[in-house]
Amino acid sequence: MSTIKFKDYQYVRPNLDEAKQKFEETVAILSDDNPNVDPIKAIDEINKVRAHFQTMATLCSIRNSINTQDPFYEAEKAFFDENDPVYEGFQNQLLQTLVKSPHKEKLVKHLGEHLFKMIEVQLKTFKPEIIPDLQQENKLVTKYNKLKASAQIEFKGGTYNLSQMGPFLQDPDRNTRRDAEKAVSDFYEQNEKAFDEIYDELVKVRTAIAKKLGFKNYVELGYFRLARTDYDAKMVANYRKQVYEDVVPVVKQLIDAKAKRLNIADLKSYDLSLSFLSSNPTPKGDRPWLVERAKKMYHEMSKETAEFFDFMTSKELLDLDAKPGKESGGYCTYIPEYQSPFIFANFNGTSGDVDVLTHEAGHAFQVYSSRNIGIPDYLWPTLEAAEIHSMSMEFFAWPWMELFFKEDTKKYYYTHLADSLIFIPYGVAVDEFQHFVYENPAASPEERKQAWRDIEKKYLPYKQYELDFLNRGGYWFRQGHIFQAPFYYIDYTLAQVCAHQFWIKDHENHEKAWQDYYKLCCAGGSESFLNLLKIGNLLNPFEDGTVKKIVSVLDKWLAEYEQKVKFE
């Protein structure tokens, strides 16, 4: 194994002219009906070019997100914002040639039918005339990320970014929570005009792209962009209905139980992040301490996870500390030429720090497990399937939680499972809001906020705000996915329903559950979402009754556990 570390991974701006030439040569070979040409070799060669471009784009994106104020990577990010759509044009030409190639039969045999189904969907998402619109969309998303990263919130004698405000929102002191919510909300309200303008322009440009591609609005295009080949908006709407009927009442009970535990008669939005009067469960050490314990956990979990985590730590592929100028949030990505997953986070001393070491590590473990799959398009599955690996890893990590939480472990079990249920209606609300937005692209910023508040009341009827800005429907500004990746957010909830199944299976038979999970990880994106569910022996969340069946098991466990443990 090479000993080179992430800091030494070499970034060079890719040469677009050279890439263009290679794509054109490949297109010529695949179009040639001469039986002596080798289409497989041509595909393997162009995949090396694609891997190089992706490697450089990813290295640039990671380093820019670690420090949004670094002028070099800011300029390189601008290069990719401008040229990604141009490069997409090269790829689109290749895809069009693949589906019409006289060698298609041989190619399907080599690449698999699923890839060709994804290509059919992808071809609906691009024409050269939308390149300027795609460039504009990229620039607006970068602008949003930079605006959020610029937050410098003065609070209790310190200056914090948005991630670093997290612990104050969980403080046992109610005044601190209330003031922290106000401080965070004030940042969004002070920049309300800027957030509204960025989003308004994003909706307009995405709608324009959809119209140019022949769609009625952005909704169908949004689904195709996410490579959804075996379900549509109608099936998602039916799934949201299941959540409304079968999850919302259970969550309402969980919130009522929380109010009782906290001894608060009039629960407000700023109380929702706290679960226990004696404080939320928190990890008992700093970042190096947590990583050391994660290493022990992954070594004991399985030989596959041991090898994976040693690879990640020896190559320093985790950037976990919150710091000035760093983008908020967390993610996992993959650097193809180095066959390296990368984990990015903003540790803030909450239980979320441990969730990152399990959630993002679940993504990283999956792509590490499928890194030798041979076809770059199969490294990752579509997003709703990808989130199964991350959320399920959180549950497979349960036997080791005492390493991190010590005396708070029982609290962690309860909040982790309860919060995973409480999250689902919120995730569904985000999705319904986006359907409203793109079905009504001419809506004003005020109408959008009103729609958000109405949807919030439907799925989160317990959420009571004191601040005018939040009552007017301003909460969604902080949900980056709404700006960055329309219609992605529902994927978290679909995956959560699948991860809950792994939680149930793991309690029944650990060996069998882990076998199914590892098989799913190794499959990468070689199948569609619904076919991957079959590989993992998982029930389909779109089918009526699935959500109810799973939620009833979790609800029973939580009620009995709270009764047994008698939390303070």
**pLDDT single digits (tens) 278-293:** 888 999 999 999 999 9
| Residue 415: per-residue pLDDT | 94
528 found inside a domain: no
Integer Cα distance of 552 and 555 in angstroms: 5
Ramachandran quadrant class, 339 (left: phi over 0; alpha: psi -120 to 50; beta: rest): left
Cα–Cα–Cα angle for 115, 116, 117, rounded to 5 degrees: 90
| Nearest Cα residue to 488 out of 141, 2, 83 | 141
Torsion of CA 227, 231, 237, 238, to 10 degrees: -160
Question: pLDDT tens, 400-445?
Answer: 999 999 999 999 999 999 999 999 999 999 999 999 999 999 999 9
Helices (H), 281-408: 287-301, 303-314, 352-369, 383-396, 401-405
Question: What percent of the chain shows pLDDT beyond 90?
Answer: 93
Q: Is residue 125 part of a domain?
A: yes
Question: pTM (2 decimals)?
Answer: 0.90
Structure tokens at 482: 């709404």
Identify the three-state secondary structure at position 320: strand
Domain count, the chain: 1
Q: What are phi and psi of 488, to 5 degrees?
A: -70, -35
pLDDT above 80: residue 275:
yes
Residue 120 lies in a domain: yes
Residue 11 within any structural domain of the chain: yes
* pLDDT tens, residue by residue, 37-62: 999 999 999 999 999 999 999 999 99
178 pLDDT higher than 90 = yes
pLDDT at 68 over 80: yes
Count CB-CB contacts under 10 A for residue 33.
8
235 to 100, 114, 298, 457: CA distances (angstroms)? 31, 21, 37, 23
Does any domain span residue 90?
yes
Query: 19 in a domain, yes or no?
Result: yes
In 3-state terms, what secondary structure has residue 169? helix
Structure confidence at residue 568 (pLDDT): 58
Per-residue pLDDT averaged across 106-134, rounded? 94
Q: Per-residue pLDDT averaged across 539-547, rounded?
A: 97
Q: How confident is the model at residue 10 (pLDDT cuts 50, 70, 90)?
A: very high
Mean pLDDT estimate for the chain: 95
304 burial level (CB within 10 Å; 0-12, 13-18, 19+) = middle
3-state SS, residue 158: strand
- 412/234 Cα distance (integer angstroms): 36
**pLDDT over 80 at 139, yes or no:** yes
Boundaries of domain holding 87: 6-137
Q: What is the mean pLDDT of residues 450-463?
A: 97
Main-chain dihedrals φ then ψ at residue 194, nearest 5 degrees:
-65, -45
- 60 domain-assigned: yes
Determine the average pLDDT of the residues in 135-164: 93
The pair phi, psi for residue 543, each rounded to 5°, is -80, 130
8 Å CB contact between 365 and 521 = yes
